[in-house]
Amino acid sequence: MNPFPHKHLLGLEDYTASDITRILDTAESMREVLDRPIRKVPTLRGITVVNLFFESSTRTRISFELAEKRLSADTVNFSSTGSSLSKGESLLDTVQNIEAMKTDVVVMRHRSPGAPHFLSKHISSVIINAGDGAHEHPTQALLDILTLRQKFGDLKGLRVTIVGDIAHSRVALSNIYGLKKMGAHVKLCGPATLIPRAAETLGVDITHSIEEAIADSDVLNVLRLQLERQEAGLFPSLREYQKYFGLTRTRLEKADKPLTILHPGPINRGVEITSDVADSEHALILNQVTNGVAVRMAVLYLLCGAKQES
């Protein structure tokens, strides 16, 4: 098989539909591994992965760590608390030091957009972006896309609306890139204060009406509302947000057919989504979580394979 044509996964912006399809196909094989009684393969034995989380994260860190361990990689966790960074060391120095310890892969979350791209120019490890500020979170988009492909077979012409705080979401941007490459129609829905003006340049539609979004979509990808945005004055109150944009059963029942619901978690029940919607058969939220491990296994496998060939 051809080597995978990328060294890193910094974002989906520079991945093609063919690259994404290859990850999804590999992830399907990994899903089979996850359904075995013994969910472990020796593929990455002796490979060392450093999980470098400069922002706290439960599920993304655990999902990557499980993916790494199931491929038999050795993992080392690093979080910014108690790190050299609190001693004022630069990000580049920290990462060059970690790489000098002969690590193979750096999975990195950082608050600064572009931090992994910057590093990729200076170190030789494989870098996987696990979220850089409000920029990209490519493995999240890949697991969303895998979940939709499993449900719909093909994303061509699928109408997907991303609902909520688009402006501060790395999930939204990676979804926009990935979904459009796979042929979906993408719409954004949220209050004007939470949708960046530049969004129009990305080739997506924009609406400020959740009713319109429901009427025109096959899928709603509902973002988590970062409650701290309220303090910043970007929306007046949770009640107000819930009233105009919250996803409720009543609203969904006005659609011609049941809409498929995604959510990257963690859920604010009763805020951006009600419990009956989140727990309904049309919400694929826990499926997304399982696919997250499979997608991360696939990305690790393909990038480390590419590394071994280079």
Dihedral angle computed from the Cα positions of residues 250, 255, 256 and 258, in that order, rounded to the nearest 10 degrees: -80
Structural Rg of the chain based on CA atoms: 19
- How far, CA to CA in Å, does 15 sit from each of 86, 145, 266? 34, 14, 27
Task: For the segment 246-275, give every residue that binds its own copies (CB under 8 A).
Answer: 265-269
Which residue shows structure tokens 């609306």? 161
* Cβ distance to its own copies smaller for residue 5 or 270: 270
Distance of CA 125 to the CA centre of its chain: 21
Distance between CA atoms of residues 246 and 119, nearest Å: 39
Is residue 164 within the footprint of its own copies (CB under 8 A)?
Answer: no
Question: What is the closest distance, in whole angstroms, from the C-beta atom of residue 288 to its own copies in the complex?
Answer: 8
Pick from 43, 57, 248, 280 the residue near its own copies by CB under 8 A: 57
Piece of 51-59, 107-115, 145-153, 164-172 that binds its own copies (CB under 8 A): 51-59
- Could you tell me which stretch among 90-98, 111-119, 168-176, 194-202 binds its own copies (CB under 8 A)? 90-98
Of 56, 124, 193, 209, the residue at the interface with its own copies (CB under 8 A) is 56
8-16, 76-84, 124-132, 154-162 -> range binding its own copies (CB under 8 A): 76-84
Residue 70 sits in the site that holds its own copies (CB under 8 A)? yes
By CB under 8 A, the count of residues binding its own copies is: 57
Distance CA 67, CA 102 (A): 20
Shortest spacing between CB 98 and its own copies, in angstroms: 7
The gap from C-alpha 152 to its chain's centroid, in whole angstroms, comes to 19
Contact string 93-132 vs its own copies (x = CB under 8 A)? xx-xxx-xxxx-----------------------------
Chain centroid to CA 115: 17
Q: Which two tokens stand for residue 61?
A: 């860190």
Segment interacting with its own copies (CB under 8 A) among 34-42, 141-149, 168-176, 194-202 = 34-42
The alpha carbon of residue 182 and the mean position of all alpha carbons in its chain are separated, in whole angstroms, by: 16
- Dihedral of CA atoms 146, 151, 156, 159 in degrees, nearest 10, equals -100
Task: Work out how close the CB of 156 gets to its own copies at its nearest, in angstroms, rounded to a whole number.
Answer: 28
* Residue 108: closest CA among 90, 126, 84: 126
**Given 25, 89, 200, 276, the residue binding its own copies (CB under 8 A):** 89
21/287 with CB nearer its own copies: 287
CA distances from 29 to 42, 49, 238 (A): 14, 21, 42
- 123 Cβ partners below 8 Å, 6+ apart? 95, 96, 99, 106
The least distance separating its own copies from the CB of residue 83, rounded to whole angstroms, comes to 4
> Toward its own copies, which CB reaches closer, 23 or 47?
47
Instruction: Find, among 237, 245, 254, the residue nearest to 274 by Cα.
Output: 245
Tell me the CA distances in angstroms from 73 to 27, 278, 293, one per residue in order. 17, 34, 14
Instruction: State in angstroms the smallest separation of the CB of 179 from its own copies.
Output: 22
- Our CB check for its own copies shows the closer of 47 and 145 to be 47
State which residue, 62 or 202, has the beta carbon closest to its own copies. Answer: 62
Contact residues for its own copies (CB under 8 A)?
Answer: 34-35, 37-40, 45-48, 50, 56-59, 62-63, 65-66, 69-70, 74, 76, 78-79, 81-90, 93-94, 96-98, 100-103, 227, 265-269, 286-287, 289-290, 292-293, 308
